[in-house]
Structure 1
């Protein structure tokens, strides 16, 4: 015959209080194995094991109805765990969003009227976020006198929140989305692009789609080389710089390669790069955080700066 235990012994074995054990017994979750002559409840080892399971499941947030069904073999433990996991993940997502908003309020000393906006930004759907980014880039590049694929080249990589973002990613998205909706920022970026690419000098460099595709290809390779830390005097860099000089010579109609090279060396891109970094540096940094990517290097080696140094190193 199985040994029976008093409610006090069961409490010591399970870590539950006596009142909790009585509650689970009265609720029909656990059935005593017997009673003493005086009416005191007695529990067997199976009841103790069930109470330990009940305690664990309650700590995991399972409801009494779920536990009752599980112990009655009406549902399986994997089914219960799956349902509970779905609920916990949904709650966790909401808590992270709330945390991101609250931390932003504390950090930025936000005004009362900004709270609803921040909550709206952090709760946007994937489609809404994509639409906001697309509208921003459409507006700031609209009317540029360059080919569409070159407009695409101008766009930094797009922010994409993962399915399970961290609080830091959500905070970065709040700041980024707020920035992209700011009319002053949009106007400044649009003005910058139009001043850079709609000047007379830029129009002189316009050519056929094939020629502009070649330009984008060279700039793309230069960007990758700069990010990889390729020395500007390496054979690969020299080959790429030579292609750049040749391309510019062909576009300008200047057959004097040495003269084109000198003009490119004299055209220091650093002021332009500094302005680009001041305007879009924060955008790039926030996008990297949202995407879970490494932070971009300081704006000292983009494609234009690296190409300038590589041309300067040409023999």
Structure 2
């Protein structure tokens, strides 16, 4: 009998592998490691190749593989490489989830949050990428239901699907706060109705250039806001007429004000700002306050 044909007892196998007799016996009962024979008294005997197989089983188990997967590897129903790829992907997902939880806990530790805020933060941070995307897809579907996808206003629906599929592995406190705030917006019925109003109106109206330059409004009305100039004042009129034709009739000014107001909303602008934060883009300067000043000035000087 040579080394390859030598049969050893379970106790000897335990000493060679460093595993307990109890563990080897359990794995043998589960058909993970098979005895090569038995003594006359019925005790299990193993060949020396069992040492290598047990080393492999031990390694796979330490990596977190279940016994059924280990058994399939040993029976060559699947390769170690294939199992490793799947397991590595699962570990990546688990690591990402743990990193998000750690970020949430750090954020909680730095603030004085209510119980409800903490619950919401924890729930949202632990959503899978697929669940996060479904949240925003459901919002877009409900809000833009029935809107012609070829209509100008439908472009908003496509843009509103820009929630990142994956939050950063190490999200900042600002990104966690942005995700919580965005989720609250998406589930707010008044916000949904407001966005739908904008989309439906945009889809019905013909595409035409506004009789003013939005960039000019942002520049002039923004400066007026910073200077504390009231839109209804004489100085407000002068600033307004740097943006629109001074001879524009009052009824047309009111019509422009109404149309502009339809597409001017602080919460909708906040939606885009939150998406920017989550996508790691620099924060854009708010434009709505300047547009609100412009609308008020149009109405105040429509005489």
- Normalised by the shorter chain, which TM-score bucket? 0.3 to 0.5
More helix by share: 1
| Superposition TM-score, scaled by structure 2 size | 0.48
| Superposition TM-score, scaled by structure 1 size | 0.46
